[in-house]
Structure 1
Amino acid sequence: MTKAYIWRVIRTIGYLLFALHINSCLYYVASAYQGIGTTKWVYSGHGNAYLRCYYFAVRTLINIGGLPEPYTVFEITFQLTNFFVGVFVFSSLIGQMRDVIGAATAGETYFRTSMDACVAYMVTNRIPKLVQHRVRTWYNYTWASQGMLDESELLEQMPLVMRTAIAVDINLATFQKIDLFKGCDNQMLVDMLLRLKSIVYLPGDFVCKKGDIGKEMYIIKAGEVQVVGGPDNKIVFVTLKAGCVFGEISLLQSSANGGNRRTANVAAHGFANLFVLDKKDLNDILIHYPESQKILARKGRKLMKAKGPAAAKAEGEKKKGLELFGPKPPTPKMLRAFGRFNRKAFLEKLKISTNME
């Protein structure tokens, strides 16, 4: 509960105490008017006057019961007025408390409603228990880590100036360290920051797989990811931590001839929260920044050229000299059979001609 809600609760309790104070004072005035100690209903005059009158006010406004019966018309009128005021005051205060508590827990209520609806949907469609467990884990971790299911929903309600300020404070320094974006217009980087989306990955989830079409760039906000491979993806080549960026080359590669396919498997090592920038969003931004677009295109061509000859060289080094032609293919069985038959016939003819001579 935030400070604003705490102050609202304190203010509501203050109103209640003030109402009880006023009612206790009025009860003492009424007792004095009737004559202190003249009837069982008025203040008897014994003990602390304020404390006993306050006690009477609390029991009257809250309608606890067990109060002394009023006798005179004045006492009955005063008591009825107390009952009506008590009903009005406490109903108003209870309503305010309900609104305060409801507002303080609105986010959690929305989270629980979304989670329950998703679980009910999975149960209805007989989704496997393992998948249901992972979905529940995702919901619980997302709520525990950021206090909401989607940060973009909160930021969209803010003015553009505030959203920009928050985005710059959080991620601009990280973007400026990316070699691919060095030299680009800072305003273009700010526009890119506003298009980022936050995604939570569970332990073992694949962020991207080798051969997939690359449509996004990733920035690690929290947690770690690993580049894996080998049998059953058990070999870890490198571990990327918070602040690292990967997948940025795919944003600049053309999809023709499969040029923007992923070249490695990347999996979440533990829970990982990533920022994602979509390729379409980047293209929409670059329309307004032609100079930055030229810089990125030039860097992209250099990266792809550097990658191309290296790959060709690696392939050439695998086979040298006569190995490039490959082994001689074996003779088919049918031809070998005919070959054996012809050789035998030739030898028989050679023996016959020798004997004849």
Structure 2
Amino acid sequence: MDILVHFRTGYLEDGVLQTDAVKLRQHYMNSTTFYIDCLCLLPLDFLYLSIGFNSILRLSRLIKLYRFWAFMDRTERHTNYPNFVRSSYLIHTLLVVFHWNGCVFHLVLKNDGFGSKNWVYGDSSLNDDHVKAYLQSYYWCTLALTTIGDLPRPRSKPEYLFVIFQLLFGLLLFASVMGHVANIVTSVSAARKEFQGEVGKEMYIVNRGRLQVVADNGRNVLATLKAGSYFGEISILNMGTAGNRRTASVRSVGYSDLFVLSKKDMWDVLKEYPAARVRLEAIAVKRLEKYKRAPLEKAAMGRSQSTPGLVESRGKIALEDMWVPPVTLSGLTLLYPRSLGASSPPQSIRTMPTPDSPAGSTSSDRSRQQHARSGVVTMNGGESMTQLVSGRTTPLTASHEMLEQEIKRLRDRLQTVESENVAMSVKLSQQQWELEHRLAEIELQICGSRSTSSLEQDELDRNRESII
């Protein structure tokens, strides 16, 4: 069944997926994998009829172990949690190595006889209890390979050689495990800006999938690249202040297939098509200008059309309606300064309304009411008021509370408008990026068609000259 599936498994040839049945069959039969699969399928089980059951005859199936490593490599490259896959793979490898060494140790015990020597476990019941024998063998190999336990002293030369080999192999295994753990910890704690500002040696063309161009903070998405889009050309053209270094961050959304165009091949193509080089540089300049634009940090407040420097009011209550009532004289006690000799009689107080404005005839009723409300308090004696003592809460205090509430509401409204403006600016930037990118693709197609037509015209002229 495995061989039949391989006959219908596609492969990549020069970056193109091959699906032709004849090519698939020829490619599989000419590969080493086909012969390994045939070797694993040898009918060695029929030998059980002559020599009896022997598990060693099934060791040929371990040849396919390399496919497990290939599977783990593909899983690590395509999963969203590669560090978890690496840790699981490391633990699984250790358990398998301990198992194999335990099996070899069990064979040595079986040949010497259980309970016959001190080096082997002095328990003759292991011949009947296979689970206990396996666990004791596994335990001994764990102590030997990790070098953390006291092992029984060997007696014969083969036993010494076996223990020495186990200890040396345990040292190498411990060093490799420490190296893998260090790599996992390093990859987990690595910064996200590991490739930021690296020297660009190739540009990329999206064949399949979806990618996002993100800002420096890694959260704001500036544009979305789809099939046919490209990126990385700015560093190849050595444009901008960054020179040949990357100027933007691109991340893949899911799985994506990209074509890679090296810097050398790119310049060879641009030498053959100078018009395309001009258009590509123009597109790169537009993108650089977009990168230089600082993100919108403050919302743009409305300005008066007649006076640009005047900020328009966006409150729900007009300024002329925010009237503060005058202080009433009821309940108030006026304290006047008294002379050292005798007390002066209380002064009479009157309220005089202010005269109407000359433009009052043409103003609205609201303005007239405002002028009627306003007043001036005068004193006949020419002495000034020094202190006002009120026996209750004055309307002036209430008006201040109203103003504070209105100011607080306006501030909340301003924060809401700022957040909405920031979101709209990000959305507009993304749409502008997509439009510019689409326009650049159309211009490149037009330049390519013009170059092709010019080449065809030159070929026709040469043919006419040869005919003449």
The answer to whether TM tops 0.5 is: no
The structure with more helix, counted as a fraction of residues = 1
- TM-score, normalization by structure 1: 0.40
- Which has the bigger relative contact order, CA under 8 A and spacing at least 6? 1
- TM-score, normalization by structure 2: 0.31
